[in-house]
Amino acid sequence: MPNQNQIANPQPANMPQVKTPEMNDRDYLNDCLSTCKYLTDSMNVAVREASHQQLHQDMMQILIETHQSAREAYNLMFRKGWYKLEAEDQQKLQQAYQQFSGYSTQFPYH
């Protein structure tokens, strides 16, 4: 029975049901997305700590492009039904909103 809170597109009918040691398109794309996530996590630190202005700008451009690549990989995986999300209960969302909206009064700028 499908999960009612799952947000996903149907998987293509030609996807193999039994996983073999060989990589398929989904595996390659998942590897691409994982690599982009790893790179952006690491590059965020490098960009933040770059002391040379031109190096900072060049790395910032690469970071932006890597984030864009990750988003494109995610979008493609989601469209193909290879990436699923779980919808959160509306009541839990409202509770979190109430909890954290009160913190905004502590911010130095409004």
**Chain segment 16-49, per-residue pLDDT in tens:** 666 778 888 999 999 999 999 999 999 999 999 9
Helix (H) or strand (E) holding 86: strand 85-86
The Cα 71–Cα 63 span in angstroms is 12
Helix (H, G, I), strand (E, B) or coil at 38: helix
Q: How much is the average pLDDT of 56-62?
A: 97
Residue 99 banded pLDDT, cuts 50, 70, 90: confident
The Cα 43–Cα 63 span in angstroms is 6
Higher per-residue pLDDT: 7 or 93: 93
Indicate yes or no: pTM above 0.85.
no
Residue 103: the pLDDT is 82
